[in-house]
Amino acid sequence: MTATATLQADEKLALDLMAAIRAAADELCAPSHVDLVSVTVDVSARIDDASKASFDTRIDRRTRTILFAGGSASVDGTIVMSATAVYSIRPA
C-alpha cells in the first residue's frame, strides 16, 4: 500500500473530492449507510497543490437502494477534476 504522504497532488485531490461526495451522500441517507459501488474520476488540469481546491457536490438521483452522486474540484475558479459515484444504500 502507498502511504498518503507519497501521493501526488492530483491523487490527493481525487481522495479529497471523493471524501466530499461521500459526506454529501452520508448526510442525505442518514441514518442508513452508504457503500461505494463505482467511481469515475476525470482530470481536466494538472495541479501542484491540492490544498487550494474547493469542492462542489451534487446528488443526481436516489432510489430506495442506490444513490448516484458527483462533484467537482476547482482551483482558482477553474474546474480541475470531476467525479461521479454510485453508492448502495444499506438500512441502519
Max CA separation in the chain (angstroms) = 40
pLDDT tens column, 12-62: 999 999 999 999 999 999 999 999 999 999 999 988 888 889 999 999 999
Is pLDDT at 91 greater than 70 in this prediction? yes
Look up residue 40 and give its three cell numbers. 469515475
pTM of the model: 0.89
**Using CA of residue 47, residue 52, residue 15, residue 84, what is the dihedral sign?**
negative
